[in-house]
Structure 1
Amino acid sequence: MDVSFSYFIQQVCSNPALAITTLLTLGVIFVNGWTDAPNAIATCVTTRCLRIRPAVIMAAVLNFFGVFIMTQLNASVASTISNMVDFGGDTNAALIALCAALFSIVVYSVGASLLGIPTSESHSLIAGLSGAAIAIQDGIGGINMGEWVKVLYGLAASLLLGFGIGWIVCKLVTLICAGLDRRRANVFFTYAQIVGAAAMSFMHGAQDGQKFIGVLFLGMAFCSGQTGVAGVIIPVWLMILCSTIMGVGTSVGGERIIKSVGQDMVRLEKYQGFSADLSSALCLLVMTVLGIPVSTTHTKTSAIMGVGAVRRLSAINFGVVRDMMLTWVFTFPGCGIISYVMAKLFMLVF
């Protein structure tokens, strides 16, 4: 399989299906940077450690490096996404189904983000790919349950680890700083939280960037007549392309989502914001190294809940938590059904 940039450009210009797949994939990456990146810097902004614009610029740069560096060091998350479904032996039909999956992700993610509710593009991606695979295979035979199990592990781990590590880190910080002067401690945590937000932005790019690199890589394989990408090394130019688009998307920002995550759910002080950022970044690092795709939104919000629980459970606004959970619960059937319908329609039309 030729993965050179010149060959890719040649195929995009000569194959409309690959051109559409590429545009949709880059569109999803852009939307992901736009809607998910605010979660990484929400606590840093709402505790007034950074203004929104500098925070967004920092997140854009760190998202870029997160995608680029971690994909070179460990691309197991991208491999998991690429091998999660089987679109069958007809690579032309598979490419059309992949287009439908990506289209459904854009529709679902944009619709949810307009309501100001954090979305999980990770789960939208998984649901979209699964719905399209079911449509093209006329059954669940196209689902690789071995890889899907990793998704279930990630769903549980991001919730439990995010909450647990958030609680532990915040509790330790509280005990360590109990005798310190509050004013000096706040000065320290102002800078510490900026570092934590930077780490969270880096790991957001590392996790979510790999997922969409895997999708675009799969589209390239279909265009080349191959049904999979096993054993093929992801080219550097693809990492740079996807990381750049995510960085641009991040620069758009998302003030409403920052407010939902950083203010409405739990009122945080600087040391709590640092604890939430550090714990969620650590959780994402572990999941990325293990090759388990997780939702950065799940992880960050769970960490914030854990931090809030150190003070008291009533510090958490469970109304906002409930709305977020309902959004996540609807993602799999909602995006999956849209993808299934669109895949059937695309295959009928094209």
Structure 2
Amino acid sequence: MTETATTPRKQTLDKDLDKLVHVEEATSTVARGLVAPGLALLFLALAAIFAGTYTFGEPGAIIIVAAAAIGAYMALNIGANDVANNVGPAVGAKAMTLGGALLIAAVFETAGALIAGGDVVSTISKGIIDPAAVGTPEAFVRAMMAALISSALWINLATWIGAPVSTTHSVVGGVVGAGVAAAGISSVDWHTMAQIAASWVVSPVIGGIVAAIFLAFIKTAIIYQDDKITAARRWVPVLIAVMAGAFASYLATKGLNHLMKIRQSDALLIGLGVFAVSWIGAHVLVRRQSEGMENRNQSLRRLFHLPLVISAALLSFAHGANDVANAVGPLAAIVFTAQQHTVDATVAIPLWVMIIGAAGISLGLVLFGPKLIRMVGEQITKLNPMRAFCVALSAAITVIIASGLGLPISSTHTAVGAIFGVGFFREWYTAHSKRRRAYLERKGIEFKRNGNGEADEEELEMQTTSREEIARRKLVRRVHVRTIVAAWVTTVPAAAVLSAGIFLFLDFIA
């Protein structure tokens, strides 16, 4: 009788306990989702306090503190969106883990920003608007504040929808919108704007073509050779040396140029010197790594892992050196104008402003960067170490070509365009290459599985016959292409309209 009476109570108690467990699990899941936004808000507060310690009692201290928090918000968004282009291909190619990529990028982004971030920056993004035309210093501060808020909001939206966009173009749009609202259309240098608009096309096209050329070379000279290992020993050191020389010129031109004045010819000489030294070292390393390797594509990929890791680090360093100005340039302009009560086209960036920018980019990458890293590295097209190597190499070479021709360029558009180029080239090559088909026929591949029971990638490509299957499994995903291109096209006008609205609101309440 006692057992019968207590049994229902035990069952009810168990059910109640189960409900509590489920509630705790749900609460824990929700709490984990709030950690990143909570830390971001804490960083904004700390940035404001940090700015206050340097400007307490000075003219315009309240405005500067508010601007510091907004600049920190902008830096967080740059880290969340733009840095994915540097490490995404290496992560997608499985050359490094996501955690390792976040660590490397955070360290080298910070180092690039603090070491080579520059002492002077154009506060109006390369002369897009005339500061004198804006009017009073108070109006200029409101214009820079509107540009900072609008560009940060737009990048935040782009990150949310999964579209890597140019942070430079976002700032440009914000500056244009605020300038037009403050001083009219005549205040904008439309010749400069035409050059920036041209970079929307130039950057991804050049990046895609260069990446496709290198991938075509790798396929022809190494992958579809009968003796892959011998071919790799001959050509992989050359490719690594080209990458090292390109990055040396890249850093000299776009990164270290902030520390010392380096001419284009000097940067090319630096690149040639690094090429020669790297070829010798890579020749020894590749020969040692390739000893005992099987004559298969999977073996070749291991030779590209270390170069990919190094390229991700160098791209992050150069990005930190260049793009930190997008976060702190308008902020530096606000600080100078509020303190001196005058408007100047160029100003010195205080160290505390640079620290906020560098810390914000790194923190934004760690907190919100994984989404875009996966998008760039895995969801646009399938990458392996050789394809990712072509993307990284294209990014460095394209910047050098564009700098030599005097063309404005976007690192985001270049890197993503290179991924597009790799993917679209694979589509064409799979469908049209007679050399590839002759090679597979000569090797006797008849849609069988290789000896260890794993399907070889080239066999899988030959087995794929339907267009739907091709689009689904291995080539460029059109839905991502459409989303990204649409975000690129609308970045400047959207940021401009948003900035104009914010400026008019700030002007109204002032």
TM class, shorter-length: 0.7 to 0.9
Residues 221 and 229 of structure 1 are in contact (CA less than 8 Å); yes or no, is this contact kept in structure 2? no
1:228 and 2:388 aligned: no
1:216 is displaced (CA, Å) by: 2.2
Q: Percent identity?
A: 23
Q: Quote the residue 2:65 is aligned against.
A: 19
Bigger relative contact order, structure 1 or 2 (CA pairs below 8 A, ≥6 apart)? 1
Residues 82 and 218 of structure 1 are in contact (CA less than 8 Å); yes or no, is this contact kept in structure 2? no
- Write the distance in 2 (CA, Å) between the matches of 1:336 and 1:43: 31
1:286 is displaced (CA, Å) by: 5.7
Q: Quote the residue 1:128 is aligned against.
A: 174
- Write the distance in 2 (CA, Å) between the matches of 1:164 and 1:108: 29
- Write the distance in 2 (CA, Å) between the matches of 1:41 and 1:29: 18
Residues 82 and 214 of structure 1 are in contact (CA less than 8 Å); yes or no, is this contact kept in structure 2? no
- Counterpart of 1:249, as a letter, is G
Deviations 1:143-165 (A, max 9, x none): 13354344234333312221122
Report the count of equivalent residues.
Answer: 342
1:32 is displaced (CA, Å) by: 0.5
- Write the distance in 1 (CA, Å) between the matches of 2:358 and 2:61: 24
Residues 17 and 96 of structure 1 are in contact (CA less than 8 Å); yes or no, is this contact kept in structure 2? no
- Write the distance in 1 (CA, Å) between the matches of 2:204 and 2:123: 23
Residues 119 and 328 of structure 1 are in contact (CA less than 8 Å); yes or no, is this contact kept in structure 2? yes
1:151 and 2:201 aligned: no
Please, which runs of 5 or more residues in structure 2 have no aligned partner? 1-50, 230-294, 429-470
From 34, 37, 47, the counterpart of 2:83: 37
Distance 1:122 1:271, change over 3 A: same
Residues 305 and 385 of structure 2 are in contact (CA less than 8 Å); yes or no, is this contact kept in structure 1? yes
From 484, 489, 493, the counterpart of 1:324: 484
1:90 is displaced (CA, Å) by: 0.3
Residues 71 and 357 of structure 2 are in contact (CA less than 8 Å); yes or no, is this contact kept in structure 1? no
Q: Quote the residue 1:81 is aligned against.
A: 125
Residues 82 and 228 of structure 1 are in contact (CA less than 8 Å); yes or no, is this contact kept in structure 2? no
Q: Which has the larger radius of gyration?
A: 2
TM-score (norm 1): 0.86
Cα RMSD, aligned residues only: 2.8
TM-score (norm 2): 0.61
1:342 is displaced (CA, Å) by: 0.9
Distance 1:345 1:233, change over 3 A: closer
Residues 63 and 247 of structure 1 are in contact (CA less than 8 Å); yes or no, is this contact kept in structure 2? yes
Which secondary structure state, in structure 2, belongs to the residue aligned with residue 113 of structure 1?
helix
Which secondary structure state, in structure 2, belongs to the residue aligned with residue 81 of structure 1?
coil
Distance 1:131 1:106, change over 3 A: same
Distance 1:105 1:281, change over 3 A: same
- Write the distance in 2 (CA, Å) between the matches of 1:192 and 1:176: 19
Residues 55 and 61 of structure 2 are in contact (CA less than 8 Å); yes or no, is this contact kept in structure 1? no
1:336 and 2:482 aligned: no
From 361, 370, 395, the counterpart of 1:255: 370
- Counterpart of 2:209, as a letter, is G
Which secondary structure state, in structure 2, belongs to the residue aligned with residue 50 of structure 1?
coil
Which secondary structure state, in structure 1, belongs to the residue aligned with residue 128 of structure 2?
coil
1:82 is displaced (CA, Å) by: 5.2
- Counterpart of 2:199, as a letter, is G
- Counterpart of 1:166, as a letter, is A
- Counterpart of 2:55, as a letter, is I
Which secondary structure state, in structure 1, belongs to the residue aligned with residue 125 of structure 2?
helix
Distance 1:12 1:52, change over 3 A: farther
